[in-house]
Chain A
Amino acid sequence: MLSYLVRRIPSAVGVLFAASFLIFLMLRLIPGDPVDALAGQDATQESRDAIRADLGLDKPFWSQYVSWLGGLFRLDLGQSYRIGGDVGDLLRNGALNTVVLTVAALLIALVLALVTSLVAVIRDSRWLNAALNAVNTIGLALPTFASGLLLVLVFAVVFPLLPSGGTPPEGYLARPDISVQYLLLPAFCLALPVWAGLSRFLTEALRSQLRQPYITTARAAGVSRTRLVVRHALPNALPSAVTVLGIQVGTLLGGAVLVEQIFTWPGLGSLIELAISGRDYPVVQVLLLLSVAVFVVTQLLTDVLQAWLDPRIRIGGAR
């Protein structure tokens, strides 16, 4: 197993090296110059030259690349050109906010999907099903920017119950009651399509289980419908729902970019948007490389997991 893992690591490192070079090169090929973005329209050529030298952008391409790579090995992610500050600090703050938001959204989606699916299957009422179907369809069809603005309008403007955006002023832990209120609208907005998709899938999976012979037997033994669904059908329906949830997590992370904009949530999504528009090379480079690294590590773990579960893969790999 260990030797299998060791064999896979060089290719993963190779991919990361190649990605680092491509990212570095591509950023310098796209139109737009960080010096222009920083200097402003009225700056003289003398100012531009001074800023370029100050940022080290007057050095040869290879020198800049090696210097950046060397910094990465020393865990020095560099200084942001335009946003300002240490790239590592920017990344940590943004990542914390994005993780809090996505985890909260995931929890909301999970709980809501579980509750609505169970209620729909246990009650099996025509009207209830129709209502839940309608909610699911809206949840799936409504784009995040529309649902976000709608939520703000209703819960922050017309009925000012919750903040319209921003993060808790004193951090997440100092005042949990306040933090929950700040999180509710953006997390619910992000959770909406995931809840709708998951709820629809879980409801169908539960109904499919209810048609199985073991359920008929249990029903004949006088087991109540609630117990049948919760104790017997749900455990068998959950594994496939977890697979769907795994796919939905990707949707969640992608959706976070938009939701962060709507709710002024300073996470990684808004950070990368800001960095790209200002041609803030050090920030964009690290964020793109990080996304590649996450993908590579996930692939590596998946391969290892599969090899662990299926010995044929290990053997095949040994040949």
Chain B
Amino acid sequence: MNVPHRQAWLRLLTAAVALCLLSACTSAVGEQARRRSSGEPVDGGTLRVAALTDLIPASVFGQSSNGGNAVIGLVYDSLVEYPHDSLEARPALATSWKVAKDGRSIHLELRDDVRFHDGKPFTSEDVKFSIRTIADPKWAVQLQRTAAAVTGFDTSDPHAITLTFDRPLSNILDLLDIVPIVDKDTFSQVKAGTGYNGTGAFRFDEWKPNSEISFSRNDDYWGGKPHLDGVDVKIVPDPQAQAAGIRSGQYDLLLGATARDAETFSKDPKYEVLDFEGATQQTYVGFNLKNPDLKDVRLRQAVAFAVDRERILDEVYRGEGIAQNLSWSPGSPAYDEKAAHHYDRDVDKARELVDGLGSVASLPLQYIAGDPTAEAVAQIVQANLDDVGITVDLEPVEYAQMYQRLVGADYDGLWIFGHTYAQYTPATLPVSAYPFNAEHNASNFLSPGYAAHADQAWAAAAPDGPKAKRAYAGLNADMVDNVWLTDLVTFWPRLVTTSAIHDIDYTKRTELIARDAWKDQ
């Protein structure tokens, strides 16, 4: 065999040095580093976002994913918008609206200066198509039942629409806040992930599955030209990689920072942590009532009294949230402080309930395998229950199986999972959030009283009127008395950005809004 002679080695060395010099020409990190702050909003720059989960085109309107939420928030507008801290809807594509006294219709005046990204004017026909799309079960949107209850569309005026319902809908404004206004003519591209034609501040450019989604500024945006040139969303499924990426100047904004990382970043002046308290989510312990032991409400109540919600909030969520056993936040019309803290930790009461039961068999507690948050919560719950004489066996379950068991109402005993939708009109929770669904839920809890209260809440014409409030009081009593699940913590997303990024916003459904955002130059 021939051996490379000295000249060959020299050539190799020269090539290596040349490559090193070439590498030194432009630094990939230098290209990414943020520029100096000027203090005033300025135009230009691309927002570089790290997202944990990619867009899922087949369920872009239904299931929440970081990538999908970025598409909805950046590309589309809705008819009305809720602020973070209340349910007082603000105009968006609809300039004004009026709900009929009987709650069976709503008339909306629409903006007449709006065009889709392809130049097509926005009209009432687009509203009709969008609501009908959401009503299609194929998209599995949480408010599908509400959308399906919209049965009449008067689109005679292109800039106004009257929607009529087959029953009074107290949560109609929730639907109008959630429904993205889509374009009928280009809608076939949505499911393939090849095109998203909206009226929003940013145009969809390209999606590379499992890699990135890119958007560019919509210069003709009806709300004024956005400051940013574009938004690049990179799919970074590991929170640690996200944290390293923002520190190394690769990203401007993290959509998946852990509570611990967010806490660390909040102490560093180079970063900002934004709390979106209106977009609440809940972690809960569920009980399958088909388990013979869990049929006895005293055992469920004992668990609810035994869990140390404050400890879970402090240790797992780093104090950012509310420890309470009901889902409503203090701003909700259904909020009742006494009911929300009915099951504040009381070890003596829990023991008393357990003693009254005689012997309690060991219970399985299932949670998502590989999810550090769920694992930490499960360990605390296990220790808390052990304190009162209830033994639980921790059983991590793969995510897809966890979903299958939830949907099939097929857990072995207890489980830990998350839910949302308590941030909307209270009727939306028992109508649309599966763990609370009065007709069919993961706990196999069925009660004519609860179903009646859910229906009354849904039918109330005024969501904060006396009739509605009576229904909410009934719902709260049902939840406290029957405890088919008990909330542990209400928390909200925490976004981490570099201090060079300003005026980022979020919807109640955690969709990214960047129409006013700007980046230091």
Residues of A within 8 A of B (CB): 31-33, 36-51, 54, 80-85, 89-90, 93-94, 149, 152-153, 156-157, 160-169, 175-178, 180-182, 230-231, 234-236, 238, 261-264, 266, 270-271, 274, 277-279
Pull 19 A–B residue pairs with CB atoms less than 8 Å apart, ordered by A.
Answer: A33-B404, A33-B407, A37-B400, A38-B58, A41-B407, A43-B62, A43-B144, A44-B137, A47-B137, A47-B140, A51-B138, A83-B209, A85-B209, A149-B240, A160-B248, A164-B241, A168-B28, A180-B19, A264-B237
Among candidates B142, B238, B245, B248, residue contacting A42 with C-beta atoms closer than 8 Å? B142
Known A-B contacts: A43-B434, A44-B140. Give 18 more (CB < 8 A): A32-B400, A38-B140, A40-B140, A42-B433, A43-B142, A45-B440, A48-B140, A83-B54, A156-B244, A157-B248, A163-B32, A164-B241, A165-B245, A177-B22, A178-B26, A236-B1, A262-B241, A277-B399
Question: Nearest A residue to B247 by beta-carbon distance?
Answer: A157
**Contact A270/B209 with A36-B407, A39-B62 known, Cβ cut-off 8 Å:** no
B174-208 interface bits toward A, Cβ cutoff 8 Å, 1 = contact, 0 = none:
00000000000000000011000000000000011
For the complex, what is the distance from the CA of A153 to the CA of B401, rounded to whole Å? 35
Q: Which 7 A-B pairs have the closest CB atoms?
A: A32-B400, A235-B1, A43-B140, A156-B248, A84-B57, A47-B137, A47-B140
> A164 contacts B403, CB within 8 Å?
no
- Across-interface contacts of A41 in B (CB, < 8 A): 403, 406-407, 417, 419, 434-435, 442
Among candidates B28, B29, B31, B140, residue contacting A51 with C-beta atoms closer than 8 Å? B140
- Across-interface contacts of B140 in A (CB, < 8 A): 38-40, 42-44, 47-48, 51
- Asked if B55 is at the interface of the complex by the 8 Å CB criterion, the answer is yes
For the complex, what is the distance from the CA of A312 to the CA of B190, rounded to whole Å? 61
For the complex, what is the distance from the CA of A169 to the CA of B31, rounded to whole Å? 11
Tally chain B residues at the interface, Cβ within 8 Å: 70
> A163 contacts B250, CB within 8 Å?
yes
- Asked if B379 is at the interface of the complex by the 8 Å CB criterion, the answer is no
> A157 contacts B23, CB within 8 Å?
no
> A266 contacts B56, CB within 8 Å?
no
- Asked if B266 is at the interface of the complex by the 8 Å CB criterion, the answer is no
- Across-interface contacts of B514 in A (CB, < 8 A): none
**Contact A84/B192 with A31-B404, A165-B245, A180-B22 known, Cβ cut-off 8 Å:** yes
- Asked if B521 is at the interface of the complex by the 8 Å CB criterion, the answer is no
Interface of chain A, main secondary structure: helix
- Asked if B38 is at the interface of the complex by the 8 Å CB criterion, the answer is no
B422 to chain A, nearest CB (A): 13
- Asked if B398 is at the interface of the complex by the 8 Å CB criterion, the answer is yes
- Asked if B151 is at the interface of the complex by the 8 Å CB criterion, the answer is no
Among candidates A54, A175, A178, A270, residue contacting B210 with C-beta atoms closer than 8 Å? A270
- Across-interface contacts of B248 in A (CB, < 8 A): 152, 156-157, 160, 163-164
B358 to chain A, nearest CB (A): 34
Candidate in A45, A82, A234, A262 with the most chain B CB atoms within 10 angstroms: A82
**Contact A40/B59 with A32-B401, A46-B137, A157-B247 known, Cβ cut-off 8 Å:** yes
For the complex, what is the distance from the CA of A234 to the CA of B2, rounded to whole Å? 10
Residues of B within 8 A of A (CB): 1-3, 19, 22-23, 25-29, 31-33, 54-59, 62-64, 136-140, 142, 144-145, 192-193, 207-211, 232, 234-238, 240-241, 244-245, 247-250, 398-401, 403-404, 406-407, 417, 419, 421, 432-435, 437, 440, 442
| Cross-chain pair count, CB within 8 angstroms | 209
> A166 contacts B209, CB within 8 Å?
no
> A32 contacts B398, CB within 8 Å?
yes
Candidate in A33, A37, A42, A230 with the most chain B CB atoms within 10 angstroms: A42
> A266 contacts B26, CB within 8 Å?
no
Candidate in A83, A89, A230 with the most chain B CB atoms within 10 angstroms: A83
> A266 contacts B403, CB within 8 Å?
no
- Across-interface contacts of B432 in A (CB, < 8 A): 42
For the complex, what is the distance from the CA of A54 to the CA of B25, rounded to whole Å? 52
Question: Nearest A residue to B3 by beta-carbon distance?
Answer: A231
> A166 contacts B234, CB within 8 Å?
yes
> A274 contacts B407, CB within 8 Å?
no
Among candidates B31, B32, B241, B421, residue contacting A264 with C-beta atoms closer than 8 Å? B241
For the complex, what is the distance from the CA of A224 to the CA of B248, rounded to whole Å? 48
- Across-interface contacts of A157 in B (CB, < 8 A): 244, 247-248
For the complex, what is the distance from the CA of A231 to the CA of B4, rounded to whole Å? 8
B271 to chain A, nearest CB (A): 13
- Across-interface contacts of A83 in B (CB, < 8 A): 54, 56, 209-210
- Across-interface contacts of B33 in A (CB, < 8 A): 160
- Across-interface contacts of B193 in A (CB, < 8 A): 84-85
A180 to chain B, nearest CB (A): 5
**Contact A152/B244 with A40-B63, A238-B1 known, Cβ cut-off 8 Å:** yes
A312 to chain B, nearest CB (A): 27
Among candidates B54, B245, B404, residue contacting A32 with C-beta atoms closer than 8 Å? B404
For the complex, what is the distance from the CA of A41 to the CA of B28, rounded to whole Å? 41
> A153 contacts B244, CB within 8 Å?
yes
- Across-interface contacts of B417 in A (CB, < 8 A): 41
> A42 contacts B434, CB within 8 Å?
yes
**Contact A264/B234 with A38-B58, A43-B62, A235-B1 known, Cβ cut-off 8 Å:** yes
B145 to chain A, nearest CB (A): 7
> B241 contacts A163, CB within 8 Å?
no
> A163 contacts B28, CB within 8 Å?
yes
- Across-interface contacts of B2 in A (CB, < 8 A): 235
> B138 contacts A47, CB within 8 Å?
yes
For the complex, what is the distance from the CA of A217 to the CA of B400, rounded to whole Å? 68
> B29 contacts A176, CB within 8 Å?
no
- Across-interface contacts of B59 in A (CB, < 8 A): 38-40
Question: Nearest A residue to B22 by beta-carbon distance?
Answer: A177
> A264 contacts B235, CB within 8 Å?
yes
A73 to chain B, nearest CB (A): 23
For the complex, what is the distance from the CA of A39 to the CA of B141, rounded to whole Å? 8
Question: Nearest A residue to B6 by beta-carbon distance?
Answer: A230
For the complex, what is the distance from the CA of A165 to the CA of B28, rounded to whole Å? 11
- Across-interface contacts of B404 in A (CB, < 8 A): 31-33, 36
> A84 contacts B56, CB within 8 Å?
yes
B392 to chain A, nearest CB (A): 22
For the complex, what is the distance from the CA of A144 to the CA of B401, rounded to whole Å? 29
Question: Nearest A residue to B245 by beta-carbon distance?
Answer: A164
**Contact A277/B398 with A93-B208, A264-B236 known, Cβ cut-off 8 Å:** yes
> B56 contacts A82, CB within 8 Å?
yes
- Across-interface contacts of A263 in B (CB, < 8 A): 241
**Contact A50/B211 with A38-B59, A82-B56 known, Cβ cut-off 8 Å:** no
Question: Nearest A residue to B19 by beta-carbon distance?
Answer: A180
For the complex, what is the distance from the CA of A160 to the CA of B27, rounded to whole Å? 10
Candidate in B19, B22, B23 with the most chain A CB atoms within 10 angstroms: B23
- Across-interface contacts of A178 in B (CB, < 8 A): 26, 28, 31
- Across-interface contacts of A152 in B (CB, < 8 A): 241, 244, 248
Among candidates B22, B241, B399, residue contacting A165 with C-beta atoms closer than 8 Å? B241
A241 to chain B, nearest CB (A): 12
- Across-interface contacts of A163 in B (CB, < 8 A): 28-29, 32, 248, 250
> B209 contacts A37, CB within 8 Å?
no
- Across-interface contacts of B399 in A (CB, < 8 A): 37, 277
